[in-house]
Chains A and B, each alone.
Chain A
Amino acid sequence: MRVGRVDAKDEELLSPDSKAWQEAPVNEVVLSPAPLEMQPTEYIRVARNGRPYGVLSSMKVSALHNGDSVFFHLIWQDGSEDGPIKDINQFADAAAVMFPMVEDAPLIGMGIKGKPVNVWLWRADWERPKNVAAEGMGTTVRRDDPALSSAARHANGQWDLIVARSLNGKRAPQGTVALAPGTVTKIAFAVWQGSEQERAGLKAFSPDWQELELDA
């Protein structure tokens, strides 16, 4: 996946209908349910056995940067908009992009001790995405990160989400990936459908890392 460089202001790149996005190449990312046997507790494996989750099979992804910030534009089908919860048995929709912190950090299980990953997690009931550091399942630490921002819209049964982060590494929370123009790294994606009580490992995800190349 290429992250094209454009000469556009942050505001334009945070607007899903802008010219920059209309011209950006679209990648089809294949998703599948995070495997039942990978779910971290027996309870979750038993409770979701025969109760489908992560059924979303693909999403559209475009990526751009303007030298200052990087922007990921994610589009996926979701018949119900699940924002701030109105009852305690409800869950909000969510999506995430994930990067390896070292070359061979495993995608499945969200890293492992000594081989961390960095996740930018958007949730429909949050004001801004959170910056998540992980070294394996159950180890995630969520931090506020003023350098992260997002724009989200639900219309006609689909989410249009832009997640953005400054490329400036200064004062980044511990465990934040350093993305720079002219470099190559990897990326993965995940989506949670709140209406299906998806949360934690109950999600649709891209099972393989995709190469991510930032234009110089």
Chain B
Amino acid sequence: MSERQLAFVFDLNKCLGCQTCTISCKTLWTDQPGMEYMWWNIVNTMPGRGTPRDRDEMGGGFDAEGRARAGVLPSAKDFGEAWDFNYEEVFYEGKGQSAYLHPRNPSADGKDEAPEWGPNWDEDQGAGEYPNSYYFYLPTICMHCTEPACLAACPRTAISKREEDGIVLIDEDRCDGYRFCMEACPYKRIYFNPDRFISQKCVMCFARLEEGVAPACVRQCPGRVRHFGYLDDEENDVFKLVKTWKVAIPLHPEFGTEPNVYYVPPLAPPRFDENGEIDEENPRIPMEYLRSLFGPAVDQALATLKLEMEKTRQGGKSELMDILIAYKWQNMFIPFVEDPGELSRPAPKS
């Protein structure tokens, strides 16, 4: 455990699945050779298999007694390889009118085969039968865990957790590419760079934080989904949502790493019964499913959300609803409110 901890709250009731967060991270951090298939931030449709596929069945983390659990080392195929596109054909071979631009399976050795898998492949499939079908979006990043399984697994002590803010970082000079961290991380948020032969993951935009700027995924989110700040800062949204209101809870608490991304669980429209009548008693997203993701705390979190929503419907005021609505978006990540466009910065290298 570190002296202080920076944490995120992602409000799943507001996430649009637009992947702006994903792209903001991609352009800032993972646009170099060897990183093509990396998505340090990824948003998946749930219920779904996740990225990498079936990640919840890949083990890692700790058991109830705090003992390490064996995990699987995912393949690039599991994550979804970077597709290649027939740009040549469409743009340079005079077939602009006859050929259409499409992705090709990178494992097909240049053959024009359709890809079989990719990140967020099962987008918007969800579950349930019409008219009671349902799904929601689940963004994940490295959770900068209080007890990082990745750090504990590394035989080279290449991974550290910073005392001042709890950021978990991989030292690229110490990393020998053994990938035990990737096996041990229960959220499967570490990627391997085959060009540099090192493991890489979300760095919480630490270089921006040091300039007072919020992480890119937080600042760029058009849905006002992402609250960010110190977990012990009582004035901050994160503290209020996690500690005071207890409506933001960790994903898979049973993995035992004490993650520092917290989620406001999803509410759904009510079910329709056999007669087509609204059935207020049974939730459309089965509670069993939500408990399998967020543990038993999800019941109370949803109950609190419903209660406070009802208050505002009756014309009352709710501090919780005001925080979640996020009237002023810069308030979502106090004190990291600097505008990166206004910082003085060195001239770009020519």
User: Which residues of A does B touch, CB under 8 Å?
Assistant: 39-47, 51, 85, 87-89, 137-138, 140, 142, 197, 199-201
Q: Are A138 and B157 in contact (CB under 8 A)?
A: yes
Whole-angstrom distance between the alpha carbons of A43 and B60 in the complex? 9
Q: Are B73 and A41 in contact (CB under 8 A)?
A: no
Task: Please tell me which one of the listed residues A43, A46, A88, A138 contacts residue B156 in the complex, with CB atoms under 8 A apart.
Answer: A138
Given A138-B157, A200-B176: A42 in contact with B152 (beta carbons within 8 A): yes
Q: Are A42 and B155 in contact (CB under 8 A)?
A: no
- Which chain A positions have C-beta within 8 A of B214? none
Extra pairs beyond A41-B68, A89-B73, A201-B155 (17, CB < 8 Å): A41-B154, A41-B155, A43-B70, A43-B180, A44-B180, A46-B67, A46-B69, A46-B70, A47-B180, A85-B194, A87-B76, A88-B73, A89-B179, A137-B155, A138-B157, A140-B176, A200-B176
8 Å CB interface, B64-118 against A: 67-71, 73-77, 79
- Which chain A positions have C-beta within 8 A of B154? 41
Q: Are A88 and B155 in contact (CB under 8 A)?
A: no
Shortest C-beta distance, A175 to chain B (Å), equals 17
- Which chain B positions have C-beta within 8 A of A43? 68, 70, 149, 152-153, 180, 183-184
Shortest C-beta distance, A123 to chain B (Å), equals 10
- Which chain A positions have C-beta within 8 A of B77? 87
Whole-angstrom distance between the alpha carbons of A138 and B176 in the complex? 10
Task: Please tell me which one of the listed residues A89, A142, A200 contacts residue B155 in the complex, with CB atoms under 8 A apart.
Answer: A200
- Which chain A positions have C-beta within 8 A of B245? none
Q: Are A138 and B155 in contact (CB under 8 A)?
A: yes
Q: Are A88 and B68 in contact (CB under 8 A)?
A: no
Shortest C-beta distance, A176 to chain B (Å), equals 19
Whole-angstrom distance between the alpha carbons of A46 and B178 in the complex? 16
Q: Which residue of B lies closest to A43 (CB)?
A: B153
27 A-B pairs with CB atoms under 8 Å apart are A39-B155, A40-B155, A41-B152, A41-B180, A42-B68, A43-B68, A43-B184, A44-B155, A44-B180, A46-B67, A46-B68, A51-B70, A88-B76, A88-B79, A88-B191, A88-B194, A89-B73, A89-B74, A89-B75, A89-B179, A137-B155, A138-B155, A138-B156, A197-B73, A199-B178, A199-B179, A200-B155
Q: Are A87 and B75 in contact (CB under 8 A)?
A: yes
Shortest C-beta distance, A192 to chain B (Å), equals 11
Chain A proximity mask over B271-312: 1 for CB below 8 Å, otherwise 0: 000000000000000000000000000000000000000000
In the complex, B192 has a CB within 8 A of chain A: yes
- Which chain A positions have C-beta within 8 A of B183? 43, 47
7 nearest A-B pairs in the assembled complex, by CB-CB distance: A43-B153, A88-B192, A47-B70, A40-B155, A43-B68, A89-B73, A89-B75
Chain A proximity mask over B191-203: 1 for CB below 8 Å, otherwise 0: 1101000000000
Shortest C-beta distance, B218 to chain A (Å), equals 28
